[in-house]
Every structure is written in structure tokens, then in C-alpha cells.
Structure 1
Amino acid sequence: MGLFYNFSVALFSALGSFLFGDDSGVIGSVVSQEFDYFQTFFHSPGPSIIGAIVSTVRRFFGAAAAGSLAARLGRKRTIQIGASVAMLGCSLQTGAQNVSYLIVGRVITGLAIGWYVPVVPLYQSEISPPTMRGFLTGLTQLMIAIGFLVAYWVGYGCQFIRSDAQWRVPLGIQIFPATLLFLGMFILPFSPRWLVDQGRHDEALVILQRLHGNKTNKEFIDLEFAEMLEQIQYEKENISTKLSDLWSTKPMLRRTLTGIGIQVCTQFTGINVSSYFQPTLYAALGLSGSKVLMITGINGALGAVITAIFIYFILDRVGRRPPLIFGAVGMAITLAIEAAINAKWGGVNSDNHAAQTAGVAFIVLFGSLFFTVSFGPISWVYQSEIFPMRIRALGTSVCTCANWACNVLISQVAPIGMSRLQYRMYPLRFYILFVATNIANGFIVFFFFPETKGKSLEEMDAVFGDQVIPHALETKQVHNIGGSGDEDEKKSRVSV
């Protein structure tokens, strides 16, 4: 089966990321003033209520549980359980009768998304060959972008519905991908590395052959499997699954800080303020009405297309560091220009069409170009590939918690700030703040983030400076550790 099967598995598992994007994108339209039936039904909720509805704090607690669930139940089952809970939460949102009802549905959906979103790229990274891991794990961000895209265009279309279906339909559409993911995960394979960790070696080899095998690469499969066996066996003997292992040595502390760092940097690009509150940013340029939601939809479409091009043609060729630095510099420049446009020509009463066009263009460049060719996909790829097997699930869980914690801060503060400051002033301060943080992001990547391109997951110990055992893919030998009573068994399994 090989590459096509591997791609199909990675793409289908990314439905969880699609739901994440749809959940995040649709709520911005639903709570906007254009959705007048929502405003009427919920009695024009104030900024604090809107903040609670949009808030991602629920995802933090879901992510906190993800590591333990993924280690014990496996990556596949954790995604599947999350999908089933998301089905419940989305159903409650769709049938909401009051604000409390809606918030409970959002909380349940957020918990589900929180615990399977970090597991999706983890699962993808563990089923991917080293030379395509960026592309296959980057499908997470592509499906997030497509989720946002669907949410934006559904939001644009539903604003014209003249009943409560105006807001119930966009929320209800989320039930479909959650149901499809839940059912589809029954036929997707377990992670071969998780199976090895559970002692289910024969199953792991069969799945690895289905994922990576073809008529000409039997030697690669043998070496890859041998490397998994020896590395994971070494980790089982020397690394536990305790939280303290994430900082027990300098290389492990570096891994943890790097993983947390890329997620925090991602949030401080400013992307989620732009995503959640695009209508407000466009309003600051003097735009209003259905045109705002249409522009938002076009922006989402461009983001999805550029993400697909980047992860397929570029990411595995140029690596992780250069795009991150390029994206940070590009986002800083576009936001600085946007700040200047808002300062001179912005305001809800602005009628300078040239300034409006330029302002929209730089918002689109910020999110659909520079973010999507840098921190968008790479944050999920990077955090999923740098940790050893024994604590990979725990490490990605902690990193994603850092993401959600920053997300909560931003999503709670932004709507309150927007309501208390004039339209012209809040976007201006938003732009200036994130110009500074994007410059900082570029320096952090340059000085602290190592390159991981082309390395197998087992070879990350060489990248972070704590390699102890030889790697089969380097030595071209299936037998690299002496003195173990299990060596004959390992060798025989590799030769299957």
C-alpha cells in the first residue's frame, strides 16, 4: 500500500483538526452583529459573555488529560473518544435554549478538542517516514485552515437566513466531521511505535509495512523497525513517563522549552486575534455588512491553498527554521504597515477606498501567507517530533497546554479591549504589540530552535545531544546493541 495508504490515514485523522478550525472559525461569525437572530435570541450578550463563549480555556484542561490518555489508550483511541465527546458538545450548542446551555456545549466541545488536537499530529508523526513527516504532520494545519474556510463561508451564507437557523446551522454542521472521525477511526491503524511500546511487535511490523513499504524498500523497513525496537526498548529501561522527566536532564529540558516555546510564539504572532475578530479589524478600516464576512471567507480560502502548497512542496525540503524566521519577519512587517494605515486613515467612518484595500491586503498577507508558511503548520510538526517515545504524548500535551493558556489570555482580553477602546485605537495597539512579539519570535527561533528536517523520530536524541545507542538507519545494521537476551528475537522479527 505504501505512500497512498500513509497519506490517506494521515489525512483522515486530520478531520479532528478540521473540527478544531471549524469550531474556532464559526464562532466569530455567529457572535458578530451580522447574526442578528443570535443577538436577539441571546439578548445581545455583552463583552464578558462573548468572551466566555469564544474562550478556549476548556481546551487547556482537555490538553492536560491528552498525554495520559494517549499513552495508556493509544493515539487512535484517544482521538476516537475525543470525537465522541465532541459530537455531544456540538449537539448541545446546536440545540441551545439560553446562554448557559450554549456555554456548556462549548465547554464540552472544547474539552474534546483539547485532548485530541495534540494527539492528531502526534499520531501523524509516528506513522510518517522521516522524509515526509513535515508534509503528513502538516496536514493538521491544512485541515485547520479548511475548517476555518468552511466556517467562514457557512457564516457568510447563513447570515441571510431569517430565522434561528441563522446560527443553529453553522453550529450544527460541526456534528458531521465529529461523527465521521469517530466512525472512521475504527478502521485506521494504531501507531506502530505505540504498539512496540506495548510489546505488540508483530502488529507493529505489519502496520509499518503497510504504511511505508513498497516493492523496493524492504531494507529501509527492516532498518526502521530495528531502530524503533532498540530505541523504545532503551527508553523503557531508562525513561519513565513521569512529568518530571520533561526536565530531568539538560537535553530533555531543552526539548520541553523548545516545544513550549514554539506554541507560545505561535500564539504571540497575533493570529488568533486576527482569526477570531477579523470583522472588527475590517470595521476599523471602515468596512461593514456582508462584505466583511465575504472578505473573511476569501482570506480563509487563500490560507488553505497556501498551506497545501507549503507543506507539500517546501517544508520537508527547506526544514523548520528558515520558514519560521521568514514568517516572523514577514508578519512583523505586515503588521507595522497595517498599524500605519490604521493610524492615518483608519476609523469606522473611513471612506478612503485605497487605504481600505491596502489594509485588507496586509491583513490577508499576515494570516494567509506569512503565518501559513511558518508557525501555522510547523508548530504542530515540531512539537510532535522532538520528544522520546516514552514521554512524547506527555510532552506534546504540555506544549499544547501552553498554546491554550496563551490563547485563553488573548481571547478573553481582546473582546473587552475592543469594547472599551475606540475602533481606531484598539486595532492600532493590537498591531504594534504583535509587531514587537513577532520580532522577538524571530530571534528566539534563530538562537534556540534546532533543525529537525529529515531525521527519524528515534534520531532526535542526536539533535538534542543525548544520543546513547546507535541508530539502525545510520549504521545500516539491524543489530546495534549488544548484551541483551532479546537480541535474537529482535533480529528474527526484523527479518520477517
Structure 2
Amino acid sequence: MGFLFNFLVALFAALGSFLFGYDSGIIGSVVSKEFHHFHDFFDSPSDSIIGAIVSTFAGGCFVGAAAAGWLASHIGRKRTIQAGALVGIFGCSLQAGAQNVSFLIAGRFVAGLSIGCLSMIVPLYQSEIAPPKLRGLLTGLTQWMIGLGFLVANWVGYGCQFLDNDYQWRIPLIIQIVPAVMLLLGMFGLPFSPRWLISKGREEEAFKIVQRLHGDSQNEEFIKLEFAEMVEQIKYEKANYSTKISDLWSTGPMLRRTLTGMAVQICCQFTGINVSAYFQPTLYAALGMSGPTILLITGINGALGVIVTGVFITFILDRVGRKPPLLFGAAGMAICLAIEAAINAKWGGENANNPAAQNAGIAFIIIFGSLFFSVSFGPVSWVYQSEIFPMRIRALGTAVCTCSNWATNVLISQVSPIGMTNLGYRFYIVFVVTNICNGLIVYFFFPETKGKSLEEMDAVFGDQEIPHALETKAVHNVKDDHSSDKEKAFVNQFETA
């Protein structure tokens, strides 16, 4: 089966990311002024209430991501994805049936629990089933499906604005339930993470899955070495290290992993992408746009982002590495937002009457998200945080990094409506500065991880203690006094094969 099976598994698991993108994206349409039935039903909610509706979701995501760290270690990556999907069905149902603002906010929080869980576990699962040379593509499917979710949300929002009853906003929220149900049921047919199986002593089952995921008629030797490397590294860690949260900062290399993983997610939020994602119609309105045109442009922007992300993860990410795209994206986004601020300062406002300036403003919002973000922090943040931690602490470390994302998301989504109202074009300048800071952080502190197996990350971060089978081309690199006779016999067969 090999690559095709591996790709399809990673793609289907990314339905969790699609749900993430759709749920995050649809709220921008639902709370926009074009959805007047929403505002009538909830008695014209204020900016602070709108901010609470948006940011409560992110608060739930923070809690969900934290819980997923524990679940992923104890019930496995696969079952944690299913748990997230089940909670998502409940939360999305609450939103669709909301009778008042409190009801809606509760639904947003519960859905956030699901999305937080899925946003942490899906890229982790993808990274653990991917071969080293394809990990950027397969884990990058997370961002591609987030973008696809936003795209579908944008066009659903565009279509539903023409409904003249409460289904104008209820139907977009009902649709969220569909991918959650598909994910819950479909995951029964997908494999467990082989690395998690090894950590639980299920080597034979893990080896069969690695063969299905990575094997073909030409790479039998690679499969043996890759699997032996997984087994030895995981067994060594299990015998010599703990899995406490304090391990995330117990040594210099571990602290560096934790800080860079958190930084890539915090920097991702401080690009300003979710101001655009959540409040894109508001940004277009500030340029003088109005009516259905706003949601039409939003839909076009989403389509371009999906295309650009797909091309990037397929042809570029695994070739150029992680740092160059992050640096390129940070610089590009800073320039776009600086130009956007200038356009809004001189020609913005609801009464703007300069079509050329309006079109330029729209263009730079699109270039900001669909080009520069889509080839940098969008996909790379999920890939990077999921590949840098050792197995013993990977779920916990990834959970902490994802929590950093959502904590920053809460801050930005809560203050953005107020900031846009009170600061106007100056709000763009805030993110010009943060993008410049993002580039400096990446340049000075982020190591390159391209092409390394997950087990080889210890060499990247400077705490390698055992040789790696893919380097030595031998299956026995560590004296093993901790495995059972059955486990030793299973590994020994690779040496004699």
C-alpha cells in the first residue's frame, strides 16, 4: 500500500482539522451584519458580546487541548481523535439549537473543547504515521484541511445570507455536525499510531502498521531500520526517563524544545491571521465594501488559500525545510499589513469612494492570508510542534504548545472587535510589529528539522544519547536489559532476515 494508504489515513484524520476550520470560519459570517436574523434573534449583541461569542470558543479549545495531552498518552492517538469528534457533535448541536446568547456561548465552549482536542491530536497522529521525508506533506494536511473548512464556511455563509428567516444562521451551524459524525465513525477503520503501540508493548501490531503505511517493494531494508529505531528509542526513553510535566524544562535541550514549540504557535497567532479569519467581513467593510460582495470576496480568499497551501505542502515544504518559509512569511505579512494600514488611513471608512484604493486594500488582505500565511506559519506551525518532542513526552509537549496557541487566540479574538473600533487603521500596525518580531525569533532561535525522523530530533536539539538505526544501518544499537524475551526475539528477527 505504502504512500497512497499513508496519505489517505492522514487526509481522513484531518477531517478534525476541517471541523476546526469550518467552526472557526463560519462564526465570522454568522456574526456579520449581513446575517441580520442573527442580530435580530439575539437582540443586537454589542461588540463585547460578539467578542465573547468568538473568544469563548477559543477558551474551550485551550481546555480541550490540555485534556488531549493526557488522553493521547492513555487511550491512544486514534481514540482521542474519536473522543474529540464525539464532543464536537454535542457542542455543534448546542450552537445550532441556541435559544439565547448564553445557550450559544455554552455551545461555542463545548465545541471549543472538541476543536482544542482535535487541533492538538490530529497533527500529532499525522506526524507519528509519516515517514521522515513526507512528514511536512502529511502533517501539513492539517492546515490544508483547516483552510478547506474555512473555504466551505465562507461559501455556506455567502449562500445562507440570502435566507430570510432564522435558518439564515442555524443552517451554517448545523452543517458542522456532519464532519464530526464522519470522523467519529471513520476512525474505527484507521490504524493506531505505531509509536503509541510500541510504547504499550504491542510491537508486532505496530510493525504491521508501519509496513502498510511506509512499505513498498523497494524499501524493505528502510522499514526494518526505521522500525528498529522506533523500538530502541522508545524502549530506552521508557526505561531511563519519566513522563512528568517538569520534564518539559528539566534540561536545556528539553526547555529549548518546549519554548520553540510554544513560540511557533504564539507567533502564528501574532501574525494577525485570526483577526482576518474571524472578522474578515469587518475588514472589508472598513474599506467601504458592503452587502453580499463582502462574503463573496471572503469565499474567493478562502479558495486561494487552500490552493496555495496545497501546492506548498506538496512541492515545497519537505524540500526547503521549516525555517525559510517562516522567515519569508513573517516578512511578507509585515509588508502587507503596513500597506493595508496606509490604505485604510487615507482611503478607508464606510464612505470610501476610491475604487482603486478599495481594490488594493482587498488585494493585500488576500495576499496576506492566502499567500504569505499559507506558505509559512499556517502549515509549518502544526508540523513543527508535532515533530520536535521525544515520544515519552510528545503528547504532553504538543498539548502545551497547542494550549499556547489557544490562549493567545483568546486574547486576540476578545480584544480585536474593540481594537478595530477604537484604533481603526492603527490596529494593523500592531501586527506589523509582531510579524517583525516573529521573524527575528525564528531566525535566532529555531533549529531546522527537515528530513529527520522523530527519533533523530535528539540530535537536532543536542541531547542524543543512543545511536539511530537509520544512521548506523544496524538494528541493534543499544544494549536492552528491559524488554521481555518475546520483545527481544521479535526485534532480533530483523538482524537475521
The verdict on a shared fold, with TM-score over 0.5 as the criterion, is yes
User: Which one of 443, 447, 455 corresponds to residue 446 of structure 1?
Assistant: 443
Deviations along 1:284-321, whole A, 9 cap, x unmatched?
11111111110011000000000000000000000000
- 2:114 is aligned with 1:112: yes
Partner SS, residue 474 of structure 2: coil
Q: Which residue in 2 is equivalent to 1:482?
A: 479
Q: Which residue in 1 is equivalent to 2:86?
A: 84
Letter in structure 1 aligned against 2:489 = E
Q: Which residue in 1 is equivalent to 2:43?
A: 43
Cα distance change of structure 1 residues 367 and 488 upon mapping to structure 2, 3 Å threshold: same
* Paired residues of 1:385 and 1:457 also in contact (CA < 8 A): yes
Structure 1 residue 391 displacement after superposition? 0.5
Letter in structure 2 aligned against 1:138 = G
- 2:341 is aligned with 1:339: yes
Unaligned runs of 5+ in 1: none
- 2:235 is aligned with 1:233: yes
Letter in structure 2 aligned against 1:127 = I
Unaligned runs of 5+ in 2: none
Deviations along 1:209-234, whole A, 9 cap, x unmatched?
00000111110000000000100011
Q: Which residue in 2 is equivalent to 1:224?
A: 226
**Matches of 1:430 and 1:371, distance apart in 2:** 18
* Paired residues of 1:226 and 1:490 also in contact (CA < 8 A): no
**Matches of 2:479 and 2:129, distance apart in 1:** 28
Aligned residues: 491
Letter in structure 2 aligned against 1:256 = T
Structure 1 residue 493 displacement after superposition? 4.8
Q: Which residue in 2 is equivalent to 1:407?
A: 409
User: Which one of 375, 378, 381 corresponds to residue 379 of structure 1?
Assistant: 381
Q: Which residue in 2 is equivalent to 1:278?
A: 280
**Matches of 2:374 and 2:313, distance apart in 1:** 9
Structure 1 residue 484 displacement after superposition? 3.2
Letter in structure 2 aligned against 1:44 = S
**Matches of 2:352 and 2:101, distance apart in 1:** 34
Q: Which residue in 2 is equivalent to 1:494?
A: 494
Letter in structure 2 aligned against 1:337 = I
Partner SS, residue 118 of structure 1: helix
Superposed, which structure 2 residues align to 1:25-424 within 5 Å?
25-55=25-55, 56-419=58-421, 421=422
Superposed, which structure 2 residues align to 1:422-437 within 5 Å?
425-426=423-424, 428-437=425-434
Q: Which residue in 1 is equivalent to 2:20?
A: 20
**Matches of 2:87 and 2:493, distance apart in 1:** 39
**Matches of 2:41 and 2:253, distance apart in 1:** 54
* Paired residues of 1:12 and 1:181 also in contact (CA < 8 A): yes
Structure 1 residue 192 displacement after superposition? 0.1
Deviations along 1:411-460, whole A, 9 cap, x unmatched?
111112334x2xxx42x122111111101111110110000000000000
Q: Please provide the CA RMSD for this pair.
A: 1.1
Cα distance change of structure 1 residues 157 and 493 upon mapping to structure 2, 3 Å threshold: farther
Cα distance change of structure 1 residues 372 and 404 upon mapping to structure 2, 3 Å threshold: same
**Matches of 2:230 and 2:283, distance apart in 1:** 49
Structure 1 residue 104 displacement after superposition? 1.2
User: Which one of 455, 459, 462 corresponds to residue 459 of structure 2?
Assistant: 462
* Paired residues of 1:286 and 1:350 also in contact (CA < 8 A): yes
* Paired residues of 1:222 and 1:494 also in contact (CA < 8 A): yes
Deviations along 1:86-132, whole A, 9 cap, x unmatched?
00111111111111111111111101111121100000000000000
Cα distance change of structure 1 residues 346 and 302 upon mapping to structure 2, 3 Å threshold: same
**Matches of 1:491 and 1:201, distance apart in 2:** 9
**Matches of 2:61 and 2:325, distance apart in 1:** 28
Letter in structure 2 aligned against 1:302 = L
Q: Which residue in 2 is equivalent to 1:472?
A: 469
Letter in structure 2 aligned against 1:459 = E
* Paired residues of 1:279 and 1:293 also in contact (CA < 8 A): yes
Deviations along 1:116-175, whole A, 9 cap, x unmatched?
211000000000000000000000000000000000000000000011110011000000
Letter in structure 1 aligned against 2:157 = G
Partner SS, residue 64 of structure 1: helix
After TM superposition, which residue ranges in structure 1, 4 or more long, deviate above 2 angstroms?
416-419, 482-496
Q: Which residue in 1 is equivalent to 2:7?
A: 7
**Matches of 1:491 and 1:278, distance apart in 2:** 54
* Paired residues of 2:239 and 2:482 also in contact (CA < 8 A): no
Cα distance change of structure 1 residues 247 and 96 upon mapping to structure 2, 3 Å threshold: same
* Paired residues of 1:88 and 1:109 also in contact (CA < 8 A): yes
* Paired residues of 1:202 and 1:493 also in contact (CA < 8 A): no
What is the identity percentage for the equivalent residue pairs of Structure 1 and Structure 2? 71
* Paired residues of 1:225 and 1:494 also in contact (CA < 8 A): no
- TM-score (normalizing by structure 1): 0.98
Partner SS, residue 73 of structure 2: helix
